Structure 1
Amino acid sequence: MMSRRVVRQSKFRHVFGQPLKADQSYEDIRVSKVTWDSSFCAVNPKFVAIIVESSGGGAILALPLCKTGRVDKNYPLVIGHSGPVLDVDWCPHNDNILASGSEDCTAMVWQIPDHTPLRPISEPIVTLEGHSKRVGIVTWHPTTRNILLTAGSDNVIIIWNVGTGEPLVSLDNHPDLIYNVSWNRNGSLFCTTCKDKKVRVVDPRKGEIVAENEKAHEGSRPMRGLFLSDGKVFTTGFSRTSERQLALWDPEKQTPHEGIRPMRAIFTREGHIFTTGFTRMSQRELGLWDPTNFDEPISLLEMDTSNGVLLPFYDADTSIVYLCGKGDSSIRYFEITDEPPYVHYLSTYSSKEPQRGMGFMPKRGLDVSKCEIARLYKLHERKCEPITMTVPRKSDLFQDDLYPDTAGPEPALEVEEWVEGRDGEPVLVSLRDGYVPLKNRELKVVKKNILDSRPPPRRSMSSCDGSFTQQVTLEKLLDEIQSLKATVQSQGKRISDLENKLSKFTNGTA
């Protein structure tokens, strides 16, 4: 019988990447030359933020998406850090809020206006000071309002309540440099990759490492890890012979014995698992296992020998991972499924110029009328180029299978609820009619929760509290400033009159 090759069925088999037209790129941008392995770019449905070169410290170019073409060299930057900026991340619950980490050992949170600012933005909403070395990672909690995670070269992770500027949790359980941090879908756990070659799954509220992999990738180059929506962990790294690798791990799955004969297992008093079973060669064997350890990948792929660090971006709605190597000129993408070999290669987008960094648009910022399932923002040396990933479809109707309800801008929890131990899944929105970004709302620092975009409740005079007192004091100060301004103008006029009289007297005309 003739054997026929079976082609795996997938609606994403023909996804193709295409750059937008030249006039839809962002030109004449001096992308940062800092040697730090972050993406250097963050995007949301309203803005693109790019870490750029600047004299006297770090700077961020925060552009509205519509400001395409050549960027004015005098366009106001976000300048507040005294050292180079290393990482940026947009708040998932407020499209006008941007977080940044810097070599100056601080993280800062910025309010970006919808309109073009008249001057550089130099005053952050809040400055987060707690690290003793540079802050190379900033990432927002996916479902809770105002929680920001930072990680520094001091090997410390701090979780902040941005609404008060206070740390909620400080974790010092990494012995070496932390390469990246990724929250799981509901923000109850996060995974980290570290210079000691370990991948860890951490419960931040307990301050405990709940799972650990000794050597996910044996190479010495940086690793990256992503929490997938089903609880698995996807990693990129290097082998001992410097080949780039992808791996998929299940923190809850182990295979103690490979034989087909029956196994037996009991829990020990220390919490380990003692097993009896058979090897693949039918030899009987014993095992002692730590259930918090996940040593064997359920899938491992070797790619090439390029030395660029792979930056992975994950779309939970389609289970597609996009891999962008720093210094590469291509973007590879893979679909992750429950069927072996679990990680399925789809295709590669190739171009001529290498990428310095990459941004990844949230699903609500895509054009659903064109079957766009992803959009990446590729940083060149002097420009930022959007690249759209599209599923070819003939119908003009909304494609339900491509666009399940996706994470929207509303948080599921407040800070206090998360601290108390509650977990909330993302609040989903439909993209059937497209997504319209919310308008910017001015944030008042006098409120305890300064990132809360909801209007404050009306208060009667009988229920005045400290916030109202502060507001009254502020109004008095503004009145005094107006009064002083009027006095200065009055005195200036009087001085001018006296100078005119003195001039006439000197000239002998008086």
Structure 2
Amino acid sequence: MPPSSQPCHGVWQIPDYVPVRNMTEPVVTLEGHSKRVGILTWHPTARNVLLSAGGDNLVILWNVGTGEMLLRLDEVHTDLIYNACWNRNGSLLVTTCKDKHVRVIDPRKQQVVAEKSKPHQGARPVRAIFMADGKIFTTGFSRMSERQLALWDLKSFEEPIALQEMDTSNGVLLPFYDPDSSIVYLCGKGDSSIRYFEITDEPPYVHYLSTYSSKEPQRGMGFMPKRGLDVSKCEIARFFKLHERKCEPIAMTVPRKSDLFQDDLYPDTPGPEPALEADEWLSGKDAEPVLISLRDGYVPAKNRELKVVRKNHPAPVVLPAWAPRGSVLSGQPTSCHPPAWGYCSVSESCRMRRSSSSSCRVRRSAASCSRADSSMARRSCWS
């Protein structure tokens, strides 16, 4: 978050190539929160829809492609928001809050469709995520400060259909879910282990599988999307464990001797292509994620640059990493008008010569650098 009186967050485009200069300017900056932003999550099926939640108890939905605020949920939460998670098609949202409530929200109607007070009796933070079938998985603490996990059915939200107690550690359990294998991984802050459970449709619903243990505790944990795994090694999950001075990858693999593609381990999984545009989703349309096969491994498409089209720009504004500082591309307006072949700016060496000598003839007025004469603009701005 950049230091300012108006807290905001930026979106960066990570290029496939090696950039020639440091990336210091985001593609788009989103301003709307009055306090620090702590939660960011992308919509699972709609293009460029981003959710943000901050210390001001607000949930805001953005269209990153235009830099606009789509929805603002400011009367739903009464205290600090702990986490937020979309369901599979992005029609509903589940949140946990410091007021000890789990809320299932329809963001487009801006209303709470289901709510549970104190899903876990302890005072420590609660986390909640959606399962692929619409059930909700939560982690929290009992009244005796024992860590718990629970599975809830929205049709009967009063009591959990499964509840298990784990241990008496004080680290908050962070759940990571793989819908393809129906496995939930639990990583506790300050723990040195990862426990994983299988979720089924039959009692007892939550089945303990195994535990990964290491020597050093984790400060945080990240989860690789399924399409980033190595299918040739039967890798079913990959974590990025944050230490004090390093980030360690942890691979979860299934030991199999066959070199053939394992269909049961790798069903078709959600790909990067959206199923809906932001305006379609906002108007009420829903769609399931677009699935891809991992049989030959995932190969990312080229030229997947984020294009930001603002209302005051007639054409898309793309901010690559090589954009010169001080140009229209870098977000710092100049008096040059963009010629037909692209945006122009004054090069660093030209500015140095201009400051030390009068031999550099730079025309930055609208008359000498216009769309009508692109050749003159190219010579006057880059000579």
TM-score relative to the length of structure 2: 0.82
1:434 aligns with 2:297: yes
Structure 1 CA distance for aligned equivalents of residues 253 and 305 of structure 2: 36
**1:480-508 CA distance string (max 9 Å, x none):** 848x949956983869xxxxxxxxxxxxx
* SS of residue in 2 equivalent to 1:210: strand
Greater RCO, CA 8 A, separation 6+: 1
1:153 aligns with 2:153: no
**Residues 162 and 451 of structure 1 are in contact (CA less than 8 Å); yes or no, is this contact kept in structure 2?**
no
Shift of 1:437: 2.0
1:188 aligns with 2:91: yes
Structure 2 CA distance for aligned equivalents of residues 365 and 178 of structure 1: 30
**1:25-47 CA distance string (max 9 Å, x none):** xxxxxxxxxxxxxxxxxxxxxxx
1:213 aligns with 2:116: yes
Which of 169, 178, 181 aligns to 2:81? It is 178
Which of 11, 15, 18 aligns to 1:116? It is 18
Shift of 1:106: 1.4
Structure 2 CA distance for aligned equivalents of residues 194 and 339 of structure 1: 30
- Structure-2 change in CA distance of 1:450 and 1:177 (3 Å): farther
1:82 aligns with 2:3: yes
Q: Which amino acid aligns with 2:63?
A: N
Shift of 1:339: 1.3
User: Counterpart in 1 of 2:280?
Assistant: 417
Q: Which amino acid aligns with 1:130?
A: G
**1:156-213 CA distance string (max 9 Å, x none):** 1011111111111111211111100000000000100111111110000000100011
User: Counterpart in 2 of 1:99?
Assistant: none
**Residues 332 and 348 of structure 1 are in contact (CA less than 8 Å); yes or no, is this contact kept in structure 2?**
yes
Structure 2 CA distance for aligned equivalents of residues 187 and 364 of structure 1: 20
- Structure-2 change in CA distance of 1:342 and 1:475 (3 Å): same
Alignment RMSD (CA, Å): 2.7
- Structure 1's unaligned 5+ residue stretches are 1-57, 59-80, 84-102, 255-293, 454-471, 496-510
1:320 aligns with 2:165: no
**Residues 6 and 33 of structure 2 are in contact (CA less than 8 Å); yes or no, is this contact kept in structure 1?**
no
Q: Which amino acid aligns with 2:7?
A: C
1:304 aligns with 2:164: no
Which of 120, 135, 152 aligns to 1:232? It is 135
Structure 1 CA distance for aligned equivalents of residues 225 and 127 of structure 2: 20
1:359 aligns with 2:222: yes
**Residues 104 and 134 of structure 1 are in contact (CA less than 8 Å); yes or no, is this contact kept in structure 2?**
no
- Structure-2 change in CA distance of 1:443 and 1:333 (3 Å): closer
* SS of residue in 2 equivalent to 1:216: coil
1:334 aligns with 2:210: no
**1:415-439 CA distance string (max 9 Å, x none):** 1110110001000000111111223
Q: Which amino acid aligns with 1:492?
A: S
**Residues 214 and 295 of structure 1 are in contact (CA less than 8 Å); yes or no, is this contact kept in structure 2?**
no
* SS of residue in 2 equivalent to 1:369: helix
* SS of residue in 1 equivalent to 2:338: helix
User: Counterpart in 1 of 2:325?
Assistant: none
**1:259-305 CA distance string (max 9 Å, x none):** xxxxxxxxxxxxxxxxxxxxxxxxxxxxxxxxxxx120000010111
Structure 2 CA distance for aligned equivalents of residues 152 and 223 of structure 1: 17
Structure 1 CA distance for aligned equivalents of residues 39 and 355 of structure 2: 52
Structure 2 CA distance for aligned equivalents of residues 193 and 446 of structure 1: 34
How do residues 344-423 of structure 1 correspond to structure 2 at under 5 angstroms? 344-423=207-286
Q: Which amino acid aligns with 1:303?
A: M
Which of 455, 458, 475 aligns to 2:339? It is 475
1:131 aligns with 2:33: yes
- Structure-2 change in CA distance of 1:342 and 1:118 (3 Å): same
- Structure-2 change in CA distance of 1:250 and 1:445 (3 Å): closer
Shift of 1:444: 4.7
Structure 1 or 2, whichever has the larger Rg, is 1
1:249 aligns with 2:249: no
Structure 1 CA distance for aligned equivalents of residues 242 and 351 of structure 2: 50
Q: Which amino acid aligns with 2:41?
A: T
Shift of 1:370: 1.0
**1:17-73 CA distance string (max 9 Å, x none):** xxxxxxxxxxxxxxxxxxxxxxxxxxxxxxxxxxxxxxxxx5xxxxxxxxxxxxxxx
- Structure-2 change in CA distance of 1:126 and 1:490 (3 Å): closer
How do residues 50-61 of structure 1 correspond to structure 2 at under 5 angstroms? none
Q: Which amino acid aligns with 1:190?
A: L
Structure 2 CA distance for aligned equivalents of residues 450 and 187 of structure 1: 27
- Structure 2's unaligned 5+ residue stretches are 320-335, 361-383
Structure 1 CA distance for aligned equivalents of residues 276 and 100 of structure 2: 34
* SS of residue in 2 equivalent to 1:378: strand
**1:457-485 CA distance string (max 9 Å, x none):** xxxxxxxxxxxxxxx94127956848x94
**Residues 308 and 318 of structure 2 are in contact (CA less than 8 Å); yes or no, is this contact kept in structure 1?**
no
Structure 1 CA distance for aligned equivalents of residues 279 and 138 of structure 2: 32
